[in-house]
Amino acid sequence: MARRPLPSILRGGTAPIVRSRELARSAADNATDVLHPLITIGRGLRRLAAAGRRKWADTPKDRRGPLLFLIAAVLLVLSLLRYGLPLAGAALLAVAACTGRDRKPATPAADDDARSQRLTSLYEALVPYFSVPDDPAPLYTYGGDREKAFASHSFDESGHPDRLVLRYPGYFTDAEPESRLRVEQVLAAKLGRAREYRFDWNEQGNELTVTAVAPLPCDLTAQPFATAPGEYLLGFTDAADTARTLPVNGPDGDPRDEPPVLWRTGARATEPHLLAVGHPGSGTTSLLRSLALQALRHGDVLVVDGGGAGEYACLTGREGVLAVECDLDGALTGLEWACHETERRLIAAGRARQEGHPPPPDTRRPLWILLDRPAALAHLAEAEGRTDPQSLLQVPLRHGRAAQVTVVVAEQFDSTESLTEPVRRHTRARVVLGRASAAQVALVLGAPPNTSTPVAAPPGRGWVRLGDGPVQRLQVPAAPDPYDEGTAEADRRAVLELLPPRPQPLTVPPAPTEPPAVPAGADL
């Protein structure tokens, strides 16, 4: 049987195919060179549009109307000017061309290898947590393709990952805090413990976004914060956790805006009482001192210092400071008075409402009870067979919101077992300061933190949770003891300027040394 001849294209060799490929490649390169300006301008327009969308999303709703009016006014002025719109279009194209330029420097090969090795080790470290033996096509496996698991990633200038989006299989128990915590601990260890990372879980899309967060400002001191009545500043947090900023003054007096954590008290507050827990030197006493300085602007303060170290001596004798008690007898006397005062306010306000009158002014003036280290006083009371001072807080904790009474308790981690049930139940605003594990934070706040634990936490650094809200990072403004020799002069002066003056003592006129003269003719 005769063999069929080969097609002519195959008999003639592959030279025509090679030439056609070269011609197509050169044509594509020439087209890219010709269209490079248009590609650059298009890329710049996309970047400008994305920046505009982010700016619009970050703009508060109450400011969007004036912003639209400003844009419309600018367009109207440009339309009235001669050649206004063409010049504006040309300027927009020039800005787009500048923005669309690819400014990424060439990355050395050594850096690429180090980054690839870092991502590979991170991928393999997640294999025991994101894979099961019964999975026929595991997303995470030793020697697998990490590009399928890592949706996107980016590095900072130092070569450390600053953002990572990773996918995980649907059978991973992302609804259990213990499973999340194990993965977050592995990621924090592999990415580097020198930085803090934020973990955002997307249960619907089975994605985890890890972002390196900037350190919170720790150079701010106590100052007259611009807050409304009933609002008190606990500290500062990330801009992504709040839509509000607060004007503050930096250490050099330079004004700036920082995102605050505001705690609201009063008759309509959902978290009228606060509990702060931390290790020694973490800043719980500084937090109580900062709240006392803010509360004295509109109310009265009763301080019970269970530690007895004289941390609140600067408040003694000041206007609005009812007492600063450091021993067991003074603590019991002061807290018993606070209990009776709460009952008196409730009775007086109730009678006024029954008669159709507003509450008396003395019942509307805020009263703050600051109790630091109650476990030390409880130990002394148990040794002497006396009443635990915390038992006297039951009435202010239960009925303090209606009577304008706020209770703030600060304790250390090793003494939290001594806190009574009313203190645990009614202090719905919680603060954890200092270096603490995720389990300790979850035990106090009721939920684990969404960021990794810093290796070296400055004083006042921690987490806060108001009621059932999310857990937020917190940095308390410095309010050190002005009478401490180790306090910096600038911090001492800042605290002393916020302290109210001491009342002037009453001057009694001296008694007359000579008897008064008797008028002539008077009967003796």
Q: Which two tokens stand for residue 269?
A: 């507050």
Q: Tokens in use for 326? A: 């450091």
Q: Is 284 annotated as a binding residue?
A: yes
Per the annotation, does 281 bind a ligand? yes
Letter for the amino acid at 426? H
Q: Rounded to 5 degrees, what are φ and ψ at 409?
A: -120, 135
Name the region of 61 (left: φ>0; alpha: ψ -120 to 50; beta: rest): alpha
Nearest to 243 by CA among 67, 463, 58: 58
| CB of 428 closer than 8 Å to CB of 469 | no
Secondary structure element (H or E) that encloses residue 314, with its range:
none
The answer to whether 282 is a known ligand-binding residue is yes
Report whether 115 contacts 155 (CB < 8 A).
yes
Question: How far apart (Å, rounded) are the C-alpha atoms in residues 432 and 412?
Answer: 10
| Beta-strand relationship, 405-412 and 255-258 | unpaired
Per-position b or e across 474-490, b if 16+ CB within 10 A of its CB: bbbbbbbbbeeeebeee
| Cα distance between residue 485 and residue 310, in whole Å | 13
Q: How far is Cα 484 from Cα 481, in angstroms, rounded to an integer? A: 5
505 among annotated binding-site residues: no
Count the residues in the chain.
524
Q: What DSSP letter does each residue of 343-407 carry, written as one string?
A: HHHHHHHHHHHHTT-PPPHHHHS-EEEEEE-HHHHHHHHHHHT---GGGGGHHHHHHTTTTTEEE
Q: In whole angstroms, what is the distance from residue 219 CA to residue 239 CA?
A: 17
CB neighbourhood size of 520 (10 A): 5
Does 307 show up as a binding residue in the annotation?
Answer: no
- Is 211 exposed, middle or buried, given 0-12, 13-18 or 19+ CB atoms closer than 10 A? middle
Among 289, 227, 297, smallest CA distance to 262 is for 227
The answer to whether the annotation marks 361 as part of a ligand binding site is: no
Residues 458/219, Cβ–Cβ less than 8 Å: no
Residue 159, sorted as left (phi over 0), alpha (psi -120 to 50) or beta, turns out to be left
DSSP string, 133-180: TT-SS-SS-TT--HHHHEEEEEE-TTS-EEEEEEE--TTS-TTSHHHH
Query: Which residues in 378-390 are b (16+ Cβ under 10 Å) and which e?
Result: bebbeeeeeebbb
Binding residues for ATP, as ranges, are: 278-285
Binding residues, as ranges, are: 278-285
